[in-house]
A and B are shown apart, each in its own frame.
Chain A
């Protein structure tokens, strides 16, 4: 059946019979928005993090039926001062290694900075410990978030 998804500000029609299909696979296989990654399928690693109505959400564990009529933002569409600040800081630190988890890391970091202009190390731990990076770029992720906060005047 056709469902309307509001993704990155546009309404997209997707033909998905099974309402239980995880949003992750609809974004990827139907819309070819491939920046959102599969890592575990059980909301343990955060590689699939998107924003739904502004809230960082694991796309592998939310059924597409629950995402209809809500604002879905992926790494391809995320914008605004926090997004710019995070990308700039990520670039300044050359944070990514393999890069596969970084979409999810960046989506979590942007959501954190929208909520909290001046996060402490503990705030960063709480907001980011659902995002696994097997390359262990955590050291630079933390530094980049602090720098992004500073650039936003936090």
Chain B
């Protein structure tokens, strides 16, 4: 039988918990600081007398695989059998469950789950292993060095016992500070094909997986919020008479972002919302179109910005008499549109908040909730649930859906469970988009060399004015505007990347692969254009410029070999190549493309090579490359959110076109062998696909792509 996710309610009732009886129950969370120690197998691991091993996973599972990945790391060092492994989400607790790459903050993002957990979770498993062996050694009166633990069984001579048999004794022993880790050659699970079926697959094929939308608490009210047609408007006058007359509607309350309708179920809530008459105060609302906003970026990008990185003398090199090439790239707003729109379940008892939802950055969420309710963060308990995708959308930087959930809960408190559901229209029409961006590019070619490269970026900032500002902004540049543009893997003697933050328009947010959604497109298509002008092969031309980028070059060589580059494709098809480093992983892709009906691009096949260090779960890595390619491709081909008169035009999948199965290419993935520390795969599959397709299209049509999406409009 497939192992399944355990439920949080198992926590309180678990009999004979071991390797430390401490598992943070909700009540304990309110009591303040937790004891900390260098290794905490008790907070991350529970071994029951029935031999079930449960890993407490500090990262949110929204499809990228951390539930399985972190459990793999523990099971490997513990010496467990995969069939005895279970997993559950950790409670919100920044001291115990912080993301080591974020500092003192619990959260999932930046493709960091495996990277920051790799040593930590291995040490948890290794410490537990040493404690179990020590307990067995005492019982069996045998030297610990002669006892083995494999596949969940302790052995010495003709004695053997399952790990559950020694779990309670082991829990009384001290936790070793520096447990011995396995040598990579002895790995049984890490990096092994077919060793580790995903823990959440079974529940996700029978309807049992519990998402936020599926939570029903006693007397819970369902809430939807009427949002203004224009960004930034607020409710001025509300006539809720007709809404309150709808059977099932319980209450109507204005909140800062709109008007909340409370009902006994979703249909009544939706009908109530439809029946509201709201007059909006639009004095501070956005009135511009996205076309106007992007024009304003282009005007800025034509002027010098704050320098993010430079070397050599670009201005002199551009004037030195070589061939100068210029281009301006424009990128639209993109919605994340995870399959499960934002939602959340919450109750306030007058002193403490209980929240149940797919929390992505638990520590920021706790702080935000605490602030709105006027309580201490310790009095906010968040139970993290499976989330139906995120792609960045559940990273809540304030003024967003979580704030609405708090306001809607507070307005009807105390002691009333509330489930706030955003409809798809609330989601796609609600802002927090991938920013609009303009890149103004200039390069100079001298002979067969690119001698100058200048990239001026203009965009709204994701981090400015948020809790993330100190992490993201430096000297007036938001790093997510220029990541992937300010450090190229290519040898170019004169280089500059500068940027303008342009405020205004709807709020913007991290979107799967963040800055690399646009920087990789610009860098890889502009470079391709320059190489073509010089008559160079796209693969060989790149490799010749990559003396300082061995891992990028390795990924590029691997994908070229996989695709049989420079093999000529069938008549009517062309191939394009692109590569990008993002989140310290290196991905190169080759796309084979033709033109279908109405000139619509058809991507037949994508070859992908990824170097993400040690490959912990090879099949999850492949799945993330496949998914990243599909996600990137759908947006680069079809998607945009336009604004007219300050409101979103596209609000559901009838207009915001998503990739569908008939548009998904065949995909072949090669994982580049590596002994480097593991890096992420949730995002790095996205950046290369757009430029690879655009470069193929340029070969087919002779035209370069400077405006996204490539093929706007509905199917």
Contacts and interface: CB of A to CB of B under 8 A. Distances in A.
A141 B661 contact: yes
Contact of A128 (B209, B267, B390, B661): B661
Chain A interface bracket (under 10, 10 to 19, 20 to 34, 35 or more): 35 or more
B207 A74 contact: yes
9 contacts: A22-B267, A39-B424, A44-B652, A90-B205, A94-B197, A96-B63, A99-B204, A129-B662, A135-B389
A139 B204 contact: no
Contact of B339 (A33, A35, A133): A133
Contacts of A38: 213, 266, 341, 421
Interface stretch (B282-290, B399-407, B625-633): B625-633
A119 B630 CA distance: 23
A149 interface: no
B664 interface: yes
A95 B204 CA distance: 9
A74 to B, nearest CB: 7
B662 A125 contact: yes
A100 B207 CA distance: 9
B247 A17 contact: yes
Nearest to B210: A34
A100 B340 contact: yes
Main secondary structure of the interface of A (DSSP, over half): loop
B626 A137 contact: yes
Contact of B626 (A34, A99, A139): A139
A44 B388 contact: no
B659 interface: yes
B205 A136 contact: no
A98 B424 contact: no
Contacts of A90: 201, 205
A142 to B, nearest CB: 7
B337 A139 contact: no
Interface in B285-338: 337-338
A87 B660 contact: no
Nearest to B669: A139
Interface of A: 17-18, 21-22, 25-26, 28-30, 32-42, 44-45, 47, 74-76, 87, 90-91, 94-103, 106, 124-125, 128-129, 131-142
A132 B424 contact: no
Interface string B41-63: 00000000000000000000011
Contacts, number: 181
A20 to B, nearest CB: 8
Nearest to A92: B197
Interface of B: 2, 62-65, 197-198, 200-211, 213-214, 216, 222, 247-248, 264-267, 271, 337-341, 386-391, 421, 423-424, 619-620, 623, 626-631, 633-634, 652-654, 658-662, 664, 666-667
Contacts of B62: 98
A142 B205 contact: no
A142 B626 CA distance: 13
A29 B423 CA distance: 16
A138 B661 CA distance: 5
A129 to B, nearest CB: 5
Given A97-B63, A142-B661, A76 B206 contact: yes
Contacts of B205: 87, 90-91, 95-96, 102, 106
Q: Which 5 A-B pairs have the closest CB atoms?
A: A35-B207, A136-B630, A100-B388, A99-B204, A98-B63
B540 to A, nearest CB: 30
A96 B200 contact: yes
A138 to B, nearest CB: 4
A29 B330 CA distance: 44
A74 B214 CA distance: 15
Given A28-B214, A37-B339, A133-B339, 11 more contacts: A26-B267, A28-B213, A37-B211, A38-B341, A99-B204, A100-B338, A124-B661, A132-B658, A136-B627, A136-B628, A137-B623
Contact of A99 (B63, B341, B628, B659): B63
Contact of A140 (B63, B64, B623): B623
A45 B653 contact: yes
Given A131-B661, A135-B627, A102 B653 contact: no
A44 to B, nearest CB: 4
Contact of B630 (A21, A101, A103, A138): A138
Nearest to A145: B661
A94 B619 contact: yes
Given A39-B424, A44-B654, A100-B388, A132 B660 contact: yes
Contacts of A142: 661, 664
